[in-house]
Structure 1
Amino acid sequence: MTSSALICSMPAVGHVGPLLVVAAELQRRGWDVRLLTGARYRAMVEATGIRFLSLPPEADTLDDIGMDGDERERGLATINRGVERAFVEPAAPAASVLERILRDEPADVVLHDMTFLGVQTLFARPRSQRPLTVMCGITAAGFSSRDAPPYGLGLTPLRQPLLNRLRNRALGVTAKAVLRPVHRSLDRFLADVGAPRLNGAFFMDVLSRSDLLAHFTVEEFEYPRSDAPTHLRFYGPMPTASARPTPAPDWFDDLDPRLPLVHVTQGTVANTDYSEVILPTLTALADLPVQVAVTTGGRPVDTLPPLPANAFAASYLPYDELLARTSVLVTNGGYGGLHHAMRHGVPIVIAGDSEDKVETSARVHYAGVGVNLRTGRPTPDAVRSAVQRILADPRYAANARRIGQAIAVAPGAAGLVDDVAALLSPRS
């Protein structure tokens, strides 16, 4: 009998892409696979041969948040109004369509990204009356722990264990007070769908309800948690391949191998305002003995500000070839891009304070793989100092290589599918 999987993703490329890697592995093994996400990802999903299901318009909103001329939410606003608007408000319509899909065509397992809160409707049922659920961690883990500060504050664990736990306990109380709006909003949704309410738990802890917590990173890039959920597993990043290989520009082979190469990017989403990271980096490095490779994330190159003599630009670059030659990555901190850099042993200067980037930035610092500038709009002086610091200190590159080695041996999508199949066996 063919096993069936329903995969649920919030409509954003950084969510859909990694889940498609898992979907492809399931399909390769003969599973019947469907993927539920936003309408603009239909072609992307169907190109892999996966059946596409569309979220209702009321739940298909994430891509448009921050693209309507509004300033992106930053800091604690990201966790309060940002999480409410991006994830809690679409949860009820997403839950409704999820229930209808499973009623019309049941699934053995529901895999969901960590922000797809509509899946909480399944926890209104006893475990024996619902599909196996797998949470896919597409960004930094946020489970409460005595060993880690609360998610959203951008803080790292202290190195002294006792002091660390005392501080984290106090911060937990403070965080629940400061983030009361999102806790109330999530509790209202949970009550509406009949799922267990928070009952004083931190809002991120609803994610631990799934039967398997599958994080798309390696343990070396997460905070150590002695009280981590027993069903938490690390599978490494899910590398997404471009449908068509990116050709190298003419200037690529003319780069001087004697000079360090610094790559700067704002990714493919937050790339409309170059004054955030790209312009400060170009200014900072213009008179240093380095070369700078800029990517616009798909925008025309002529939208960039004037380039200094040591800078070269392209809309996209062949990333594996580029990172193999890169000495430092300067980025606003997309989770996939960070792991791609560490896979190649490239240290990082990170400048991000919106969405989940305050937490990924903190992990870059804690893991010793780079410098956290603690802002989404760094000054040229701050970028210059950070790049020089990394070039002068080989420990950053050594730590990036260490995590890259862990990524190279991570179980990946194949290991995740193995574990899902094993969990299903007793049910069968």
Structure 2
Amino acid sequence: MSRVLVAVMPFTGHVAPFRAVVRELVSRGHDVRVYTGEAFRAGFEALGARVLPWTEAPDFDENDLSATFPALRGRPGPRQLLANLEQLFLRTGVGQHRDLVAAWRSEPWDVLLGDALSTGASLVAETTGCRWASLSVVPLSIPSRDLPPAGLRLRPHHTAVGGARDAALRFLVNVAGAPLQRAYQQVRAGVQLPPTDRPFYLAWLSPQLLLALGSPALDYGRSDPPPNLVYVGAIPATSDAPLPDWWGQVASSTRPVVYVTQGTQNVDPTHLLEPALAALSARNVLVVASTGIRGRTRLPFSVPAGTRVADFVPQDRLMPFTSVMITNGGWGGVLGALSAGVPLVVAGGDLDKPDIAARVAYARAGIDLRTGRPNAAQVLAAYDRLTAEPAFRATARRLGTELRDLGGAPRIADEVERLAAA
């Protein structure tokens, strides 16, 4: 038995895959503690883990971030990404470090499994020298000599001109990211660690073991991957909530089932749900729509007769019945769909979602709408093309086989055990 400390950022999209990993580790007899937000305590304790809540670090409501971080208010698009990185992920690192150092002094662990966006995990690993694995539940944004910078919705162009473009963009992104690097240095000073030349986005990642949801086919095929990188496939989202009373209509439907979701961040239903439901009302399909907010099962607009609405739907239960998924591009949801061989229409608006949409289109497993706020005509055209061209579904099924073969939560547990025993 090993003592495992799991540090996960308190967002539903991060917690969901980590819950599957914690369940696997606990089932193997390991003593697991989880450092995360208070809102997720009950879910982890139900698995048999102990929970260390954010205390010195400012805990927050993921559906009202500006209440805790006023600097996030009124910053759409790329400005939101930069503000989120600084306020949520970097500057909370001082408080995370204090919480984790206190936990280490009280009860040291054998191995730390940290969210690859947890600054606190990287800082406490450096402070204590403990064994440390990172798990990236978002697409890897590690720079590569072969690729454009992440987050720009750009696909690689393997030509001399494309290489020159990407090199210039990498330089410009580093310049634009200088304030974030300064913030990281200030965080390091705040926990009495010396300055470093290592970029903050690499310092988050363990040099011992880097685990990543996804597969090589969804990472553009870089020639310079980190030597400690292990792709672990997909962990389909699950839910302990009871199935909605209309679930039998899904299981017995003779019409194609289309799943529409905006994930759990930026969930204004007028951005994607409203135009998608309007578009699909013109087709003979059964639509399942999720709002992404616990307890919210109604939408602020007229819902077509062929639509069923829930707050959350267990994706692992829904995907076997699903023909197409229309999504704003959360990585976990995208991987869950692809692991079931379901092709996608992706409306990625901000944060990492434009990059995810571009990856799906590059792999030919779906269509990138190239906006987070499409109109009904755009959604309908994408849906019609997706269902008319069999190549999209064939590619999704091939990617699904690859993602399943990479192992998911059991593979992650295997790798953590190997590191703990090293």
Distance of 2:323 and 2:239 partners within structure 1 = 23
Closer, same or farther: CA 247–388 of 1 in aligned 2, 3 Å = same
The residue aligned with 1:311 is 307
Q: Which residue of 2 aligns with 1:42?
A: 41
Once the two structures are superposed, the pairs formed by residues 158-197 of structure 1 within 5 Å of their partners are 158=157, 160-195=158-193, 197=195
**Alignment partners' CA distance in 1, 2:122 and 2:317:** 42
Match of 1:424 in 2: 420
Match of 1:81 in 2: 83
Q: How far did residue 341 of structure 1 move?
A: 1.0
Q: Which amino acid aligns with 2:405?
A: V
Could you tell me which of 381, 403, 409 is aligned with 2:377? Answer: 381
More divergent stretch after superposition (318-327 vs 369-378): 318-327
Q: 1:228 — aligned with what?
A: 225
State the shift of 1:175 in Å: 0.3
Q: Secondary structure at the match of 2:378?
A: helix
| Residue range with higher mean Cα deviation, 19-28 or 384-393 | 19-28
For 1:303 and 1:278, the matched residues in 2 are separated by 9
Alignment CA distance shift 1:59-1:252 (3 Å):
same
- 1:139 corresponding residue in structure 2: 138
SS in 2 for 1:404: helix
Partner of 1:330: 326
Q: Specify the SS of the correspondent of 1:294.
A: strand
Q: Give per-residue Cα distances to partners, 1:206-260, cap 9 Å, x unaligned.
A: 2334411011222222222211110000111233432245245167159752x43
- Between the aligned partners of 2:159 and 2:194, the Cα distance in structure 1 is 33
Asked whether the 8 Å contact 2:116–2:205 carries over to 1, the reply is no
Letter in 1 for 2:22: A
Change in CA separation of 1:104 and 1:416 when aligned onto 2, cut-off 3 Å:
same
SS at match of 1:154: coil
Of residues 392, 411, 415 in structure 2, which corresponds to 1:415?
Answer: 411
Residues 1:393 and 2:392 are matched in the alignment: no
Aligned with 2:350 (options 342, 347, 354): 354
Relative to structure 1, is the Cα distance of residues 3 and 318 closer, same or farther in structure 2, using a 3 angstrom cutoff? closer
Count residues with an aligned counterpart. Answer: 418
Query: What TM-score do you get using the length of structure 2 for normalisation?
Result: 0.90
5 Å-filtered alignment, 1:356-371, equals: 356-371=352-367
Whether 1:219 and 2:221 are equivalent positions in the alignment is no
Partners of 1:301 and 1:416 lie apart in 2 by 34
Any idea what SS the aligned residue of 2:221 has?
A: coil
State the TM-score, normalized to the length of structure 1.
0.89
- The change in CA–CA distance for 1:203 and 1:223 in structure 2 (over 3 A counts) is farther
Whole-Å separation in 1 of the counterparts to 2:64 and 2:106: 31
Distance 1:165 1:253, change over 3 A: closer
Letter in 2 for 1:56: T
Structure 2: gaps of 5 or more residues = none
Structure 1 residues 418 and 321 mapped into 2: Cα distance closer, same or farther (>3 Å)? closer
Secondary structure at the counterpart of residue 80 of structure 1: helix
Give distance in 1, aligned partners of 2:190 and 2:315. 45
1:355 aligned counterpart, secondary structure: coil
Residue 285 of structure 1 is matched in structure 2 by: 280
Alpha-carbon separation, structure 2, partners of 1:108 and 1:155: 41
State the shift of 1:168 in Å. 2.1
Answer yes or no: is 1:345 the counterpart of 2:341.
yes
Task: Tell me the distance in 1 between the aligned counterparts of 2:245 and 2:332.
Answer: 21
Which stretch shifts more, 376-385 or 22-31? 22-31
1:314/1:75 CA distance change after superposition, 3 Å: closer
Matches of 1:303 and 1:291 in 2, distance apart?
Answer: 17
* Deviation for aligned residue 1:114: 1.3
Deviations 1:82-123 (CA, angstroms, capped at 9, x unpaired) = 211111121100011111111121111111101110123235
RMSD over aligned Cα, in angstroms? 2.5
Partner-residue secondary structure (3-state), 2:350: coil
Q: CA deviation at 1:313?
A: 3.1
The question of whether the paired residues in 2 share the 8 Å contact of 1:124 and 1:193 is answered with no
Q: d(CA) in 2 for partners of 1:300 and 1:13?
A: 15
Partner of residue 153, structure 2: 154
Take 1:202 and 1:362, find their aligned partners in 2: how far apart are those partners?
Answer: 25
Change (3 A) 1:410 1:72: farther
Corresponding residue for 1:119?
121
Code of the aligned partner of 2:12: V
Aligned to 1:207: 204
Q: Is the 8 A contact 1:122 1:195 kept in 2?
A: no
| Corresponding letter in the other structure for 1:36 | Y
User: Offset of 1:374 from its aligned partner?
Assistant: 2.0
Q: Distance in 2 between matches of 1:124 and 1:82?
A: 24
Q: Is the 8 A contact 1:147 1:226 kept in 2?
A: yes
Q: Contact 2:259–2:287 (CA<8 Å) still a contact in 1?
A: yes
Equivalent pair of 2:250/2:321 in contact (CA under 8 Å): no
Residue 15, structure 1, aligned to residue 14, structure 2: yes
| Cα drift, residue 424 of structure 1 | 3.4
1:56 is the counterpart of 2:55: yes
